[in-house]
Amino acid sequence: MKILSLKQVNLSLNGRKILQNLSMDFWKGRVHAVVGPNGAGKSTLAATVMGLEGYRKVRGEILFEGESITNMGIEERAKRGITLAWQEPARFEGLTVETFIRASAREKSDAEIQRVLQVVGLNPDEYRNRAVDRTLSGGERKKIELASILAMRPKLVLLDEPDSGIDVASLENIFEAIRVLRKDGTTVVLITHSLAVLAQAEHAFLICDGTLIEEGPMEQIRPYFEDKCIPCNHKNIPEIEGEEHGDE
């Protein structure tokens, strides 16, 4: 069953076409990956689905559970069950990890806070009272953001480069979180250029220059991506996008 559909979605930023006639279907409860080289438009796609500021002047249509969300703001999309984890999560001066997670948690109990922190490999006793600020490393903030998403129990989550800033030892915690989300029935969209992350997906889209090149089971897409054998006139201009959302 389709949960999210993009129908001929086009988006231009600063006069440059970033997404071009993108049509994609995401299926409920599945783990999808969106792969492609730097500057392909992956993070822009995530920002567009979430409806972030500056990414809403879309031509085409975005449907969520059959309803058009094209003209909706972030809040309305989030209330329908869509959320996004940024490649580089925000810092929140003065907010504790516990307060931050509780703000988005569907169930606000202590046990739930403990559960989600444990899933991402953080010791609740050590982390719940720490501030979500510069005293945490990028990897720790990434895990905390993921914990807040686990607590939110969304219908669809876009994870932008979920392994960025994560050390090898902690990567398994991120993958465990993806498994838990899937088990909870959440549709997961992994925005990645990592083969290890791609391997977590069941289905993948290969995009380049904002255009869908190929889609299919992960095993089918992997060789294209692995060999960087992309049959298109790709021009990698990372400075055009990625400043805000990290797609280098």
**Which residues bind to another protein, rule: CB under 8 A?**
50, 52-53, 73-75, 77-79, 82-84, 86, 89-95, 99, 103-104, 145, 148-149, 152
Smallest separation (angstroms) from another protein to the CB of 206:
26
Nearer to another protein, 56 or 203 (CB): 56
Smallest separation (angstroms) from another protein to the CB of 78:
5
Q: What does the buried/exposed string (b/e) look like for 183-195 if buried means 16 or more CB atoms within 10 Å of the residue's CB?
A: eeebbbbbbbbbe
Smallest separation (angstroms) from another protein to the CB of 212:
24
Nearer to another protein, 180 or 232 (CB): 180
Token output for 29: 């409860």
Smallest separation (angstroms) from another protein to the CB of 245:
9
Smallest separation (angstroms) from another protein to the CB of 77:
8
List Cα–Cα distances, 197 to 7, 150, 180, 201, 222, in angstroms.
Answer: 26, 18, 15, 7, 11
Count the Cβ atoms, other than its own, within 10 Å of residue 74: 16
Nearer to another protein, 134 or 235 (CB): 134
Amino acid identity, residue 204? Answer: A
Nearer to another protein, 158 or 221 (CB): 158
Nearer to another protein, 95 or 232 (CB): 95
Question: Which residues lie closer than 8 Å to 222 by C-beta, 6 or more apart?
Answer: 195, 198, 199, 204
Which helix (H) or strand (E) is 77 found in, with range?
Answer: helix 74-79
Which helix (H) or strand (E) is 105 found in, with range?
Answer: none
